[in-house]
Chains A and B, each alone.
Chain A
Amino acid sequence: MTTLSSRKNSAQLRRGQTRAAWTLTVPFLIIFAAMFIAPLGYSLYLSLFSSQLVGGEIFTGLGNYLRALQDPSFWAGLGRVTIFLFVQVPIMLAASICIALALDSGRVRGGRVVRLLVFVPYAVPSVVATLMWGYLYGSDFGLITQLFHAVGLSAPNLLSPKNILGSTMNIVCWEFIGYNMIILYAALRSIPEELYEAAEIDGAGQFRIAWSIKLPAIRQALLLTVIFSIIGSFQLFNEPNLLSNIAPNSIGTDFTPNLYAYNVAFRSQEINYAAALAFLLGIIIMIVSFVVQTAANRRERQA
């Protein structure tokens, strides 16, 4: 008897829970479908057509994708963000890790203040960050030039075509070192101290502990920051778009794939081609993120 009623009860309970689950999930899903799935689908749909100023829209299937794959501008942008990925991301993350480790070691006086202040740039909009750095870079009057002149050196033109990628990297570093540092620091704080107390007693140095105990322990957090940085690099737009105002000859319309898609859509008026470019970029990002994750997880399993 009792088992029967409790089973009936639990079935009821279960149904109630399922209903509650969907009621709580559906509002998000509707917005999600309208703001993520629908635009993606629409983008895919658009990318299969080709529109001309004269003659209107025609179905071209994968034509836009083939064109993109042969488009030197698309590849140039992709090449640039790849360089960005391999230079800026390691520097940024290395800096984040070092600061996080230093703060975690508990040997920095005023560490709490340092932690907060390093994080502050994250709260600065990229528009404002780029604006400020643009002034600091200014070739005849910028602070950096002033400092070079003050010590009697000739200042490099940080806005020249040769240097602009590095200057962009610096802005992104400034914006995100603190953010990544906080994520890594939080992960470091949750490592059980027993893990390395023994090593400390055995006389292992701080560097050794950091390298062989702490870093492996925060692998997941590191992976998260790497993935986010990959996505961020491929999506680079705000900084170059705003820098192009003050360095118009250093940043072409195809400086990054995103900037290129934007210019194709709004300046060349080729919406369909822009949709294909955006879609292609999304696919590339997903593939790269996936490969990185898989590689990281495989290594973890091997370890």
Chain B
Amino acid sequence: MTTSVQSTTAPRAASRTAARQGSPRRRSSRRKRGSTVLTIILWVILVYFLVPLVWLFISTTKDNSDLFSTFGMWFGHSFQFVANFESLFTFQHGVFWQWALNTVIYAVVSAVGAAILATACGYALAKYRFRGRNVVFSIILGSIMVPLTALAIPTYLLFAAANLTDSMWAVILPSLASPFGVYLMRVYATDAVDDSLLEAARIDGAGEFRIFATIGLRLLTPGIVTVLLFQLVATWNNYFLPLIMLNTPSLFPVTVGLAQWQATASAGGGAQVLFSTVLTGAFVSIIPLIVAFLFLQRYWQSGLTTGSVKG
């Protein structure tokens, strides 16, 4: 993995400047002509990305029979939006609420925890020279290559041995370790926190932790938000880990719960026709993340710039 270490430390003046400003460098303001052809092409391409989502929204307004018999991109014979929501939130005694709450807990706790750990570690790796630093960083970098799902089965076995399966910890603990977050924070801290600032603070007599808390954290904020968001998405979308770790439905996150409902809807058994309910649940589950991304774009876009440019 030494190659990646080299490539990340390769000096790139341009991106350094970019990172220091905390946002992509603005180009000269010479306005470019809009190209009609290019604009049309891109907006057409956009249709591909939006059709499934629009379809999903329209489907939340249909009952089961309309779902299969009416045109997918237009409303059905009746408008079942409210009924579907009612069914979503009351089916199996409203367990969907519980799932939604679980997802929020898993995602927020994991994301905040992972961001704190990664920020501290990444900052230390970037700003201090100490023995073992390169070893630690190489191991962390190498572990990015390890397939997470390949880890999931042994992790499950370990947790089973420790009697930790089927608990919230079983989902949260593994999500706290984000090697990619450390990597990102190290790269980000290298650029965003100026050594001379730290030296000045030291001369003023400030302790290392105070420097980290006052100067480091402030300058690292965009990077922290990026790690936070990406870990949030990773946990929010996580399916495999909770699938194998959890038994009790009241501990499920939305992803596992919905997949199970969908399987029930297909496998029948109790003659329950759930398709509309499942789709309504799917619709509800994607709203918070989309909103989070749209509102926090300023942060993650700049954080991502550093990570990728220096990748």
Which residues of chain A have a CB within 8 Å of any CB of chain B? 13, 16-25, 27-29, 31-32, 34-36, 38-40, 42-43, 46, 99, 102-103, 105-111, 114, 116-129, 131-133, 135-136, 138, 141-143, 146, 174, 177-178, 182-184, 186-187, 189-193, 218, 220-221, 223-224, 227, 231, 234-235, 237-238, 242, 245-246, 258, 261-262, 265-266, 271, 274-275, 278-279, 281-282, 285-286, 289-290, 293-294, 297
Contact = CB atoms under 8 A, between A and B. Distances in A.
Main secondary structure of the interface of A (DSSP, over half): helix
A25 B14 contact: no
Contacts of B27: 106, 189, 193
A184 B68 CA distance: 39
Contact of A189 (B25, B73, B120): B25
Contacts of A20: 124, 128, 208-209, 212
Interface string B88-116: 00000000000000000000000000000
Main secondary structure of the interface of B (DSSP, over half): helix
Contacts of A38: 158
Nearest to B301: A186
A36 B143 contact: yes
A35 B309 contact: no
Contact of A281 (B18, B33, B147, B311): B147
B306 to A, nearest CB: 9
A136 B55 contact: yes
A197 B208 CA distance: 45
A193 to B, nearest CB: 6
Contacts of A275: 153-154, 157
Contact of A220 (B136, B140, B237, B311): B311
B182 A24 contact: no
Contact of A297 (B3, B118, B255, B263): B3
B150 A279 contact: yes
A19 B212 CA distance: 13
Contact of A190 (B1, B14, B208, B256): B14
Contacts of B294: 116
30 contacts: A20-B124, A22-B124, A27-B117, A29-B136, A32-B143, A34-B173, A36-B177, A39-B154, A43-B151, A116-B293, A117-B46, A117-B50, A120-B293, A123-B289, A123-B293, A127-B258, A135-B67, A177-B49, A183-B304, A192-B25, A221-B311, A227-B145, A235-B149, A237-B240, A258-B147, A258-B150, A262-B153, A271-B153, A274-B153, A285-B146
A266 B244 contact: yes
Contacts of A132: 52-53, 55-56, 279, 282
Given A24-B121, A106-B32, A123 B286 contact: yes
Contacts of A294: 3
A40 B142 CA distance: 13
Given A192-B14, A289-B145, A174 B173 contact: no
A190 B147 contact: no
